[in-house]
Amino acid sequence: MTEQEALQWWQRDDLCYRGGELFFSGFAVSTLAKRFCSPSFVYSFARVRQNLERVHAALEDAKLPMGSTVLYAMKANRFGPLLTSLQQTGLCGIDACSPKEVEQAMSCGFLPEQISFTAGSLSRRDVQALARVEGLFVDCDSLHAIKAWGELNPGAHIGIRVNPAMGVSRADNDKLQYAGATATKFGIYEEQLDDALALAQQFGLKITKVHFHTGCGYLTSELPQWDSVIAACLEKFVARCPDVKTVNVGGGLGVPHVANDGTLDLGKWSAVLHKHFGHRKFHVEIEPGEYIVKDAGILLLEKTFEETKQFTRFVGVDAGFNIAPEPAYYSLPFQPLAPRCSGALRKVTVVGNINEALDVWYRDAWLPSLEGQDSLVLINAGAYSASMASNHCMRGEMREFLLADVER
Ligand SMILES: Cc1ncc(COP(=O)(O)O)c(C=O)c1O
């Protein structure tokens, strides 16, 4: 990435430098840094709403005869005020993946009928907890799940999560792929389908939904692969389930992390949906997490030190990978930015405060001089950051704030 690209690729109306001052959602970041302690995640609900509305517009363009539903994948970010605000938009339901997530969604105002549950490795306790939530729709991801759910809910309508043995992810990152050449735990494979149908019949279960989510973070260049995934699922699974009314094509819509990524072309995305569902009588569900919230969040950090070691200029901050694990786990770079930008840029490596070699936020980031600046910001921290945080080294403390969607 060149110096200029590092300064430009992420800029948009609500996240940009103006007169050398970084603004996010109408606030100078230096003001946010003074107002909120470090480390703090700050989310912009205006941006969340825009992202959601953009997805809805693309679904409209897809001209789906039986309509569509957006289920926000709350594993991306389950912050209560955010979920409550989402509920109030009326623009989405919820994709939940644990009984506790179901509880959290309901406590933020979502009705069981607005929640779709998809998860694996369910314990007896999980199944019992889910069965107590009247109106909850459950996708069974294995023969085990069909049996466990059928035993408690004979005659129910269910979905099945399937695995077409092919997936789609950002830049073919196999850590972000849920289905592919290597067997995964996710979903029912084609060769298991006969057994799945037989089990459903045994318990009088009606399979009214087929669900697949085969990977995360796909962008425009991966759309042909997503297209093939849908085609395979329709042919191998949906065609063999006569009672199916709904097809859930999962989440996985990505946002750019580096200059070359570019944004996901939703026009092309909606054309893929139109191609497969424009002439079929299925209601279509999608369950994005990242696309809705990731670029709506920043992580405010305090600068702790600056020092050159063996020709590398290190900048330390007061939080490590444990509170936002994606850069370390999935090699997804979270661009660091300075609240004020002036003068020439130089390359620095931004590191956290955890005693692990992988605790590097960003290698060779272009940043301005940080002299007189106490803070740094990481962008793209709205998804899979706070929700995946741990207390490693007992440094799990952080706070979350939602900037309400109001005129400023
Ligand atoms: C079943 C399921 N649906 C939806 C999602 C959301 O994915 P993303 O945040 O990439 O859109 C996930 C995430 O892994 C998932 O496992």
Q: What percent of the chain has pLDDT over 90?
A: 95
How high is the mean pLDDT of the chain? 97
Q: How confident is the model at residue 26 (pLDDT cuts 50, 70, 90)?
A: very high
Task: Read off the tokens for 273.
Answer: 């949906």
Q: Ligand 1: does its nearest atom lie under 6 Å from the Cβ of 161?
A: no
Q: Ligand 1: does its nearest atom lie under 6 Å from the Cβ of 101?
A: no
Residues 267 and 346 in one domain: no
pLDDT at 389: 98
Q: How confident is the model at residue 408 (pLDDT cuts 50, 70, 90)?
A: low
Task: Read off the tokens for 154.
Answer: 């004979």
- Ligand 1: distance of its center to the CA of 213 in Å? 7
> Residues 97-118: what's their mean pLDDT?
98
Label each residue of 262-315 as H, E or C.
CCCCHHHHHHHHHHHHCCCCCEEEECCCHHHHHHHEEEEEEEEEEEEECCEEEE
Task: Read off the tokens for 17.
Answer: 């430098």
Query: Contact 88/128 with Cβ under 8 angstroms?
Result: no
Amino acid at 335: Q
Residues 78 and 31 in one domain: no
**Which residue out of 216, 218, 233, 329 has the highest number of ligand 1 atoms within 8 Å of its CB and is therefore the one to mutate?**
216
- Ligand 1: distance of its center to the CA of 290 in Å? 8
Residue 401 has pLDDT above 90, yes or no: yes
pLDDT at 64: 98
Residues 25 and 89 in one domain: no
Q: Return phi, psi of residue 41, to 5°.
A: -90, 130
Query: Contact 332/326 with Cβ under 8 angstroms?
Result: yes
Residue 212 has pLDDT above 80, yes or no: yes
In tens, the pLDDT along 32-56 reads 999 999 999 999 999 999 999 999 9
Give the ranges where 108-222 is alpha helix by DSSP (H).
Answer: 124-131, 143-152, 193-202
Residue 345, domain CATH = 2.40.37.10
Residue among 335, 407, 330 nearest 376 (CA):
335
Residues 75 and 20 in one domain: no
Distance CA 346, CA 42 (A): 27
Q: Ligand 1: does its nearest atom lie under 6 Å from the Cβ of 222?
A: no
DSSP string covering 139-154 = EE-SHHHHHHHHHHST
Report if residue 408 sits inside a domain: no
> Residues 131-146: what's their mean pLDDT?
98
Report if residue 51 sits inside a domain: no
Report if residue 53 sits inside a domain: no
Q: Ligand 1: does its nearest atom lie under 6 Å from the Cβ of 290?
A: yes
> Residues 10-26: what's their mean pLDDT?
97
Residue 120 burial (CB count, 10 A): 15
- The DSSP letter of residue 244 is -
Query: Contact 26/14 with Cβ under 8 angstroms?
Result: yes
Q: Return phi, psi of residue 201, to 5°.
A: -65, -40
Radius of gyration of the chain (CA): 22
Distance CA 98, CA 243 (A): 26
> Residues 382-391: what's their mean pLDDT?
98
**Which residue out of 51, 52, 70, 95 has the highest number of ligand 1 atoms within 8 Å of its CB and is therefore the one to mutate?**
95
Closest residue by Cα to atom 2, ligand 1, is: 213
Q: How confident is the model at residue 376 (pLDDT cuts 50, 70, 90)?
A: very high
pTM value > 0.75: yes
Distance CA 285, CA 287 (A): 7
Residues 274 and 372 in one domain: no
Final residue in a domain of this structure, among 259, 287, 315: 287
Q: Which atom of ligand 1 is nearest to the CA of 290?
A: 9
Tally of helices (H runs) and strands (E runs) in the chain: 12, 20
Say which residues have a Cβ less than 8 Å from residue 74's Cβ, sequence separation at least 6: 83, 94, 95, 96, 101, 104, 105, 289
- Ligand 1: distance of its center to the CA of 252 in Å? 6
Residues 266 and 133 in one domain: yes
> Residues 347-357: what's their mean pLDDT?
97
Number of domains in the chain: 2
Report if residue 292 sits inside a domain: no
In tens, the pLDDT along 234-273 reads 999 999 999 999 999 999 999 999 999 999 999 999 999 9
pLDDT at 231: 98
The percent of the chain in helix, strand and coil, each rounded to the nearest 5, is 35, 25, 40
3-class secondary-structure state, position 130: helix
In degrees to the nearest 10, what's the CA dihedral of 50, 76, 323, 317?
Answer: -20
> Residues 373-396: what's their mean pLDDT?
98
Closest residue by Cα to atom 4, ligand 1, is: 251
Distance of CA 242 to the CA centre of its chain: 31
Task: Please report where in the chains the tokens 């992810």 appear, as a residue.
Answer: 169
Query: In this predicted structure, which of 179-183, 209-213, 267-271, 395-399 has the lowest mean pLDDT?
Result: 179-183
- Ligand 1: distance of its center to the CA of 221 in Å? 19
Final residue in a domain of this structure, among 240, 268, 287: 287
Q: Ligand 1: does its nearest atom lie under 6 Å from the Cβ of 95?
A: yes
pLDDT at 3: 86
Distance CA 75, CA 382 (A): 11
Q: How confident is the model at residue 394 (pLDDT cuts 50, 70, 90)?
A: very high
In tens, the pLDDT along 147-194 reads 999 999 999 999 999 999 999 999 888 889 999 989 999 999 999 999
Q: Ligand 1: does its nearest atom lie under 6 Å from the Cβ of 326?
A: no
Domain encompassing residue 374? 3-42+297-403
Residue 4 has pLDDT above 90, yes or no: no
Final residue in a domain of this structure, among 255, 287, 319: 287
Q: What percent of the chain has pLDDT over 70?
A: 100
Q: Ligand 1: does its nearest atom lie under 6 Å from the Cβ of 251?
A: yes
Residue 407 has pLDDT above 90, yes or no: no
Residue among 287, 291, 302 nearest 373 (CA):
302
Closest residue by Cα to atom 15, ligand 1, is: 213
pLDDT at 174: 87
Task: Please report where in the chains the tokens 């992390």 appear, as a residue.
Answer: 257
Task: Read off the tokens for 127.
Answer: 């199944």
